[in-house]
Structure 1
Amino acid sequence: MKYALPIMGTVAAVALFALSTASQQARADDQPSYSDTFEQLDLFADVMARVRSDYVVEVEDGELIEDAINGMLQALDPHSSYVNPESFRDLQVQTSGRYVGVGMEVTQEDGYVKVVAPIDGSPAAEAGIKSGDYITEIDGVTVLGLSLTEAVNTIRGEAGESVTLTIARIDEEPRDVTLVRREVNREVVSHEIKDGIPYIRISQFNEKAASGLESAIEELRAAMDGDLPGLVLDLRTNPGGLLDQSIKVSSVFLDGGEVVSTRGRDGVDIESYEAEAGQLLEDVPLVVLIDEASASASEIVAGAVQDRGRGLVVGMTSFGKGSVQSLIPLRGGRDGALRLTTQRYYTPAGRSIQGTGIDPDLYISAIPDDGEDHTRLSESDLPNYIENENGDSETDEIDIAIDYPDAEFDVQDDYQLQRAIEIIKSGNYQQRLAELQN
């Protein structure tokens, strides 16, 4: 059973709630573990009453309670939060693939807003905003002191309106970037033939991801007279999205069998998700590209391909978001919703990648080795992240052989993609795959 604190208009209502809990306590003497909870609820009511009566400026009760709920949830982990009714409606629109904004997935770190990944084709991506950038000011006002929800709501606005973000990047001077909000139509799947090899990019796992992938495959087949010599699936900077879409995307490459399993508290509430029978690309060589910004559903697909021996995973260790959030509407959505971390997910081999990420089969860097640390944001960098119950990744304790481009290489030429294409065209794909499976 789930319980929710209603958003109340007056402190008297909160006090009444606290009194009602006292009567519940009298009926629950056989459950002494509840007594501390009821005392803390009384404490909450006392604190709120004092703030309401004595704080230097007048405050809104609803805002206080919403902030208190968010404070409680964000102290649990970086992905649990309260979604107010307006944001809940926006969220439902976003998963369908269309919304008005500047197009970024963000989190919060040290009081600042940090970019997880810009969305392909969005104003943010077109302005050159990158994963790992910090947003320190919005329209000249510092973000310090704002919750993540407040900051995101400030960045949002009506189509055609502009917002100026101050962007801070390591080893660079802060700069102002003015973005014009517009409808972001997340056509999340793009495809082309690169140097004779089919290439498909999925930028996010919204409701259109699986159907877009299937359409892209059919168009590539038509362009190549039905015969695909291989496929590069690009999941770099893909922040994830819907769990069911990761299952459907995996089904394109797997002929049944487990894709991912989820487990709740204490290992109970276990669910296993399997691919549909009848893969679309049987025996077609597959290389999956990932990087440090590939997260969540991207990691589910990469992990399933890797554990099932279906293809080679190439790039750099992924973000490491191995938790599942349930969106729980409150009073049918009238009071918004609760985004709560309820499960961890595990690859077909039983691996939890929470905080550690998917390690690629072949480490290939996008940039030359200049001796500097270019490690980007990962799950384990977020405040209050849930630790991996199996400890740190084994690769943290060994030397990793990384394939770097030459120092004079132009990063715009995409070394990781070039190497992925070479792997398929070299004829050594099956040999490399077999070596990794042994």
Structure 2
Amino acid sequence: MKKAFVKATLLAGALALVPATTAALAEAEGNSYRTLDEFMDVFQRVRADYVDKVDDEKLIKGAIDGMLASLDPHSSFLDARDFENLRTQTDGAYGGLGLSVTMEDGAVKVIAPTKGTPADRGGIKAGDYITHLDGELIYGGTLDDAVEKMRGAPGTSIKLTIVRPGRDQPFDVSITREIIELKPVDWEVKDGIGVINIVSFSANTGADVRAAIRGIGKSLGHKPTGYILDLRSNPGGLLDEAINVSDVFLEHGEIVSQRGRQKSDIERYYAKAGDDTGGLPVIVLVDAGSASASEIVAGALQDQRRGLVMGERTFGKGSVQTLLPLSNTTALRLTTARYYTPSGRSVQEGGIEPDIRVPQLSDPDYKTRPRFRESDLRRHLINEAKVDNSILEDDSKKDPRFDTNAEALKKQGIEDFQLHYALETIGRLAKNPVQVAAHTSSKK
């Protein structure tokens, strides 16, 4: 009875994806039943004959995880613990390190540290591998177990063993946990320029950016020279908030479109009238850790010629995930669409290429540390336009304009070269607005 019920449930989902013709449905039904018979045979064999007694729920979850893992890196099943972690990350604060991580070939890999967190201050970088926690090997374990071990009471310490591509030997970093305040937007004024840093696109991020613009003007007593929108190491978040943030700087026009499986599955999102910045110069800072929602904002402002995109090529995650609740405590996170910039570009794999490429020379590991992007993930979605491999391998190109190093910059008091360069550029653009058009006119 249970076997028949499971087969019928899975078959109903499979048939929903099949073209509605009688012949196709009949063939799909036969193939699906044969495949499900094989699955149930294996399931029963494992239950009956495996050397140790196994839990049915564990087997079913393993089968679901395997099915979704065969699709792309961003589709997954969220059990009760995953659901709670997602809620914590989006709604509250927690004791931890401030890291976004993923699992790759059994190893925990850093996507990006959140700016201003213990992990960021401790020197953890995107692309690092974490092999041990307090001397205990975590290779081959689950990502959830590793995340739980890294979280803990504020004030307690944990030792991370790091393997960094480009370095010969692993090294240890001791980090003290803190309450990770999930504040998506922060701002400051530097040299009369408003610097708005967005660390994630969670609820109310658009409203917070508008509040930041008001705060900048109030602190100066007048309008700033321009704005720098810092999206570096921002892994993304909510699509709606990416649209809201883009709308802050745009008067009109398309912001982004998303296209699903069918040609008719197209949704377009447009800016409302009113530029909160009054048309002042805008620079968007990005790097290899700027992903998803960050790329939507950078792509919209670039295509609309509203601002200069500066820094490094972005991560290249051009897909949309939909959270589909399955119960009160479980859900399916499924890739349901690709998104496109106003000019029709898909950023999948290739990312957003900056208008002005500026390396982070204040990072002492800049030249030796490889960049980690969507194209490095197994089973990533392929860009339908076929990205040139040379674009994916161009991080090592040298630029004669930037012939210096971190030590020399530090002596000059420059701790963040990309931000320093952006501040200088805003100053030049304010004196000669024609330069903005010159830099952006080539972006079609």
| TM > 0.5 fold call | yes
**Residue ranges of structure 2 left out of the alignment (5+ in a row):** 15-21
CA drift of 1:73 comes to 0.7
Q: State the AA in 1 paired with 2:435.
A: Q
Deviations 1:259-294 (A, max 9, x none): 110000143311111222212012200111111111
| Shift in CA distance, 164/46, structure 1 to aligned 2, threshold 3 Å | farther
Q: Is structure 2 residue 238 aligned with structure 1 residue 242?
A: yes
1:353 equivalent in structure 2: 347
**Residue in 2 that maps onto 1:314:** 310
Q: Secondary structure at the match of 1:92?
A: helix
Q: 2:51 is matched with which residue? A: 56
User: What count of residue pairs does the alignment treat as equivalent?
Assistant: 423
Q: How far apart are residue 372 of structure 1 and its match?
A: 4.7
State the partner residue of 2:419: 417
Determine the C-alpha separation between the residues in 1 that align with 2:422 and 2:248: 20
Alpha-carbon shift at residue 329 of structure 1 (Å): 0.6
- Which residue of structure 1 aligns with residue 221 of structure 2? 225
How far 1:397 sits from its partner (Å)? 9.2
3-state secondary structure, aligned to 1:376: coil
Structure 1 match to 2:19? none
Q: 1:95 aligned to 90, 106, 110, which one?
A: 90
Q: CA deviation at 1:67?
A: 1.7
Query: Unaligned regions of 5+ residues in structure 1, if any?
Result: 1-11
Compare 128-137 and 341-350 and name the one that shifted more: 128-137
Give deviations 1:42-81, integer Å, cap 9, x for gaps: 2122112222222222222111211221111112111111
Aligned-pair identity in percent equals 44
Aligned residue in 2 for 1:5: none
CA distance in 2, matches of 1:22, 1:284: 56
Distance apart, 1:123 and its partner CA:
3.1
TM-score (norm 2): 0.86
Summarize deviations over 1:96-152 as a string: whole Å, max 9, x none.
Answer: 253343321112222211111112333322322211111123344433333434443
User: Tell me, what secondary structure is at the counterpart of 1:32?
Assistant: helix
- The amino acid of 2:374's aligned partner reads E
CA contact (8 A) 2:11 2:32 kept: no
Letter in 1 for 2:6: F
* Closer/same/farther in 2, CA of residues 49 and 201 from structure 1, 3 Å limit: same
Change (3 A) 1:58 1:429: farther
Supply the RMSD in Å over aligned alpha carbons. 2.9
Contact in 1 for aligned 2:192/2:220 (Cα 8 Å) = no
| Separation in structure 2 between the aligned mates of residue 341 and residue 392 of structure 1, nearest angstrom | 20
Q: With structure 1 as the length reference, what TM-score do the two structures score?
A: 0.88
Contact 1:97 / 1:208 at 8 angstroms: preserved in 2?
no
* 1:348-396 deviation digits (Å, cap 9, x = unpaired): 0000010110000011111289995543100000111111110115972
Instruction: Check conservation: 2:235, 2:291, Cα contact below 8 A.
Output: yes
Question: Which residue of 1 is the match for residue 18 of structure 2?
Answer: none
Q: Secondary structure at the match of 2:323?
A: strand
Q: 1:370 to 1:343 in 2, by over 3 A?
A: closer
Q: What amino acid does structure 2 have at the position aligned with 1:409?
A: A
Pairing 1:430–2:434 present: yes
Alignment match of 1:187 (pick from 183, 190, 194): 183
Secondary structure at the counterpart of residue 249 of structure 1: helix
Q: Does residue 166 in structure 1 map to residue 161 in structure 2?
A: yes
Distance 2:58 2:164 in 1: 32
The answer to whether the 8 Å contact 2:127/2:370 transfers is no
Matched, 1:269 2:258: no
